[in-house]
Structure 1
Amino acid sequence: MVLGAPSESLLSDDHDDFEAADVGGDDYDEEEEMNSSYKKPNFTSMAQHFRVRMGDNVRLPCEVDELGPGYTLLWKREEGDILTAGSVLIVKDTRISHEGNSLIIRNISLVDQGSYICQISTQDQRELRHVIDILVPPSVKPVPSTGLAVVKKGEPVTLSCEVAGNPLPVVTWTREGAKKFPDGQKTMLGHMITFVKTDRHHSGVYTCTAENSEGSPAKGVINLEVTYEPEIEVELNLVTIAEGYNTELTCTVHGEPKPNVFWSKNGERLDSATGPNTPHHRYVQTSTGSRHVLSIDNVQSHDFANYTCHGENRFGRDHKTIEMTGVASTATLKRNKPLTNGVELEWVTVSHTPLMEYRLRYRRPSASHWEELLLKANEQDSEQGGMLFNHVHQLHGLASATEHELTIESKNKFGWSRPLHVEFTTLPEEAAVHEAGRVTGSAAHQTSWSAVSATIVLTLAAILC
């Protein structure tokens, strides 16, 4: 049998449907009758899945038990491109050759990935299918490609990375400097992450890392900028200080774009100039990152005022006020012990100048009128060089088993401090009997223990003598 005719048929536009019948005419009946006297060939090779790296060589086997006269073996791609027909190499690719019935592909590249079919030209077109899978190291392209995403505060944003590689890489997101995500997670998985509602805490640098079994991990970096109006925080909203001392007023200002920051005193803007001839030469304004400081040297009484930190950008403005004063600090409560007809209180106040008196105001929560009590500050209240003042007072004459609210203020030469708010409930009458019994028993026990202690001391003294 002559193979020329089938070869011409294989090279035609209709080569996907190649069969022995393509020779055509009366010759087919004669050839079919001849072929029927031979055993139909069967594949002895098994279908395989080849996983190869770029640049490798691969051999695709296609062994048959008996390829008798009238049968032709060809190789083709799943897409239909015929590579070989019998001993004839059809494809014009120097990397492809055949050895016997096997197909050889050298220097594998991505275009070689896919299915390869070895076909015998029988009526049923018997096929053996091999798959070539190209192993590819991961690669990453950030979206947006500029690596910069800008979103307005409150709006949603999605950060994503286009990832390629085989096997399909696993993608992990992290933040620069090991910073946690706003929800507290250290990492997030997936080729994209979405923040439904953004705020300034979402701003920062995000890195997507793609990893598979091939090659080194690939990274993509996206800088997320959340634009928003200034947000100001102050460390203290009340600063108490004595004349002659130095102090610092501090505010932290966030905003994107970076806000313009300035200070004012009682509503009057302070000039940033700090020379000796300026009106506020003792005032110095400095900043480090988002932290802004107003330093005041050698504080004088006329420096006591309200100082406001202002921040503004094209999205808005914000401000926070710090009161600097010579009055005492708000008292700190040390003891709040309810009694049947009152309460026992102990509090501590910090003041740079001596305290003159205390003011207690108290009432039931439902009452509109406050009762007021003025207490003279005692010299013995002073501790730690005269800056710390401790005071104890029992307030009587209140109804038992009743809720009360109370405020405590301290006064020095600069005026009254801010009030300390206290709540308490007086004890019921029956608690007084129990409390008296407990105190009497405790006193008796203390007297007994004191007598024993005295005896021990006298005995030790006699022994030592």
Structure 2
Amino acid sequence: MVTREEIKSSSEKNSMASLTGQVPNFSQLLSNKTVMEGSPVTLEVEVTGFPEPTLTWYKKGQKLTADEHLKLLQKETKHTLFIQKVCEKDAGLYVVRAKNLNGTISSSAILHVKVQGKQPKFIQKFGHTTLQEGEDLILHCTIHGKPKPHVCWMKDNVQVASGDVSVEKLGDTYYLLKRNVALADTGKYICVASNEIGKAHCSAFVTVIEKNKPPEIFTVAQTKSEWEDGYFSEVNVTTTELVEAHNAHGVRDQRPVAKHLPIRFKEKLWLQGVYLELERPQEISFSLEHDPVLLLPAAEDQKMD
């Protein structure tokens, strides 16, 4: 049988509790979640206490605030963190902290995000290049893939040694750097990107030439008599990409002639069926639409010569 004194004591304790308040208490804790990328997710707790606790959310130690991607909601004693479309960067440890004048408590959970795999793809590739001895080689490419691909650099099908080159990564862009290249650095360079979904690669040929080696110039210099025999006057060709005359729509005697190359004319040329295009001051390029017919210069032009 409960005595009158015990009832009075219990009533006094309840009155003191209501005056001093109650520490926060979770009636529902956070729980771990695993969701697919692009799916919605909800992290929810239910907390009581007096005065009403203030809740703060953290992810990887950083305080969270509501924005277009993440919503923080409250309905009575339930507090919710909601993300409409989860992305890979949302994965991690979440902590919610409840605090009032009487104390602080916290609850935590881990959000796992399953990424929809994508095979590596080269968004930007590197290409063939020619360097002189002593110059620096820089190859770079941009690669996308999920999960993030593992990238390996090779030269002539052998993985490059870390001491010979420097391999760097900035975001989705990968770099290979080689200082003071030598002739031995000539070869085929390959970048291989792989993940659990698949593999992709990009390759290019790097040519290293002797330092200060002058570019090759092919020169055809003809005399006046040769002109009259049907050849060009003096022509400076800025490349050695030549073909036989019968393949290049050239003139007779199978003399090699540039097919579609920039030239500088030192004298007049009289050609029929020639398309002339100005590339830069005092330089002209030509392409032959059909076999040229050599025209003799007019009498007044001969006098000028």
User: Whose Rg is larger?
Assistant: 1
- The normalised TM-score by structure 1 is 0.33
Structure in which a larger fraction of residues adopt strand = 2
Structure in which a larger fraction of residues adopt helix = 1
- The normalised TM-score by structure 2 is 0.46
- Structure number with greater CO (CA < 8 Å, separation at least 6) is 2
